[in-house]
Amino acid sequence: MELSPRLNGVLYKALLRLIKIRVLKKTKLRAKFFHHLRKIRRAEFGKKNPEKTFLVIFPVNDITGLFGLHNYVCAHVDYALKHSMIPIIDMKYVPNLLIDWDEIGKRNGWEHFFYQPYEDYSLEDVYRSKNVCFPSNFNIHVDYSPAKDLERIKSDYDICSKYIRVKPEFMKLADEYWNMNCLGTSVIGAVCRGTDYRTQHPHMHAKVPDNLTIYEDIMAYYKPGMKVFIATEDADIREYLIGKLGDKLLYTQKLVFDNTKKGYVADLIDEGRVSRVSLQEEYLVSILCLSKCDYLIGPGVGGTLGALRLNGGKYKDIKILDLGVYN
């Protein structure tokens, strides 16, 4: 039975209080929490803004990386705008990879990297408002396949440039690196996802190429005098390409991994071996640089989608490595 919006508001706030309990770090309990949170469709938290309808966008799990979240948010912002709702992103009260567990309820991880779509309304304002909707109330399609069609790329670019704006400190870091290393040079950009994708084969995620395939695809574009910029968290891929390309290879990410053993990069974060914030900060700057390249090569993963969306169709050519998905 569907609860009334007012009772849903009470239930939602109760669930938000529960996530501060450390026992929720256990995987099974964490999954149950998200299951119940996703069932809430509409809530009334108070009497504020009775003439407005808000769409609260929160992550559906706590293992999705920055540009997987970016893609998810982009689709939901687009839906909200088309249906006269005000979108707002909650990565403060709901577990996600952009904040540590002891920061839940204290800091909105999204706002460290991006502005809210509308700065006139805070998350606290929304959680005192009368008409609040959640993604489960709608059948919102999130397309995780990178598109080469210019219409979709430009549509996503317009949404991002207006409503999902990157914070200036990260734009500055990317601009400084680019001006120092790439200005006046033709650059091939490659998304080189490895580590847990290669070892764990996450279900229904895009397959990633081996080192030789990456190199061969780069060299299909390469001409003397060009440089190659890579976005990768995989130490093996980086060392392989350094051996092949030498000083023609560029990258900004310092945090790279030899392997993730039997788990995922997210597990290393949970174990405290890697800083959530530092890892995502480096990733954002890397993708911003990738969006400045002349050519883009990459499998159908979040970083490739992010670069396409931030570039807005200005690449001279794009090669999406469609290798299928892991079963």
Residue range 280-298: average pLDDT?
96
Q: Residue 280 — φ and ψ, nearest 5°?
A: -75, -30
Shared-domain flag, residues 77 and 219: no
Judge whether 71 and 147 are in contact, CB under 8 Å.
Answer: no
Domain-embedded: residue 125 = yes
CA atoms of 269 and 137, how far apart (whole Å): 32
Domain-embedded: residue 240 = yes
User: Smallest Cα–Cα separation from 65: which of 326, 255, 316?
Assistant: 255
* End-of-domain residue from the set 85, 120, 137: 137
pTM, entire model: 0.89
Query: pLDDT tens digit string along 237-258?
Result: 999 999 999 999 999 999 888 7
The number of domains in the chain is 2
Whose tokens are 């290798």? That residue is 323
Shared-domain flag, residues 201 and 243: yes
Shared-domain flag, residues 100 and 237: no
Query: pLDDT tens digit string along 112-158?
Result: 999 999 999 999 999 999 999 998 767 787 777 766 677 888 889 99
Query: pLDDT tens digit string along 41-92?
Result: 888 999 999 999 999 998 877 778 899 999 999 999 999 999 999 999 999 9
Mean pLDDT of the chain: 87
Domain-embedded: residue 132 = yes
Domain-embedded: residue 145 = no
Shared-domain flag, residues 78 and 197: no
Structural domain boundaries enclosing 180: 165-321
**Cα–Cα–Cα angle for 269, 271, 272, rounded to 5 degrees:** 65
pLDDT value, residue 31: 62
Q: Given pLDDT bands bounded at 50, 70 and 90, which one contains residue 18?
A: low
Whose tokens are 């920061």? That residue is 103
Shared-domain flag, residues 31 and 123: yes
Shared-domain flag, residues 235 and 130: no
More confident residue, 36 or 235: 235
For residue 209, the domain's CATH number is 3.40.50.11350
CA atoms of 72 and 127, how far apart (whole Å): 21
3-state helix, strand, coil in the chain (%, to 5): 45, 15, 40
Residue range 205-230: average pLDDT?
94
Domain-embedded: residue 154 = no
Domain-embedded: residue 206 = yes
Shared-domain flag, residues 68 and 203: no
Distant-in-sequence, close-in-space partners of 7: CB < 8 Å, separation ≥ 6: none
Domain-embedded: residue 236 = yes
Shared-domain flag, residues 238 and 122: no
Q: Given pLDDT bands bounded at 50, 70 and 90, which one contains residue 3?
A: low
pLDDT value, residue 261: 63
Shared-domain flag, residues 182 and 130: no
Shared-domain flag, residues 223 and 120: no
- 327 has pLDDT over 90: no
pLDDT value, residue 34: 65
What secondary structure does DSSP assign to 202-249, as a single string? -TTSBP---HHHHHHHHHHH--TT-EEEEE-SBHHHHHHHHHHHGGGE
Query: pLDDT tens digit string along 168-189?
Result: 999 999 999 999 999 999 999 9
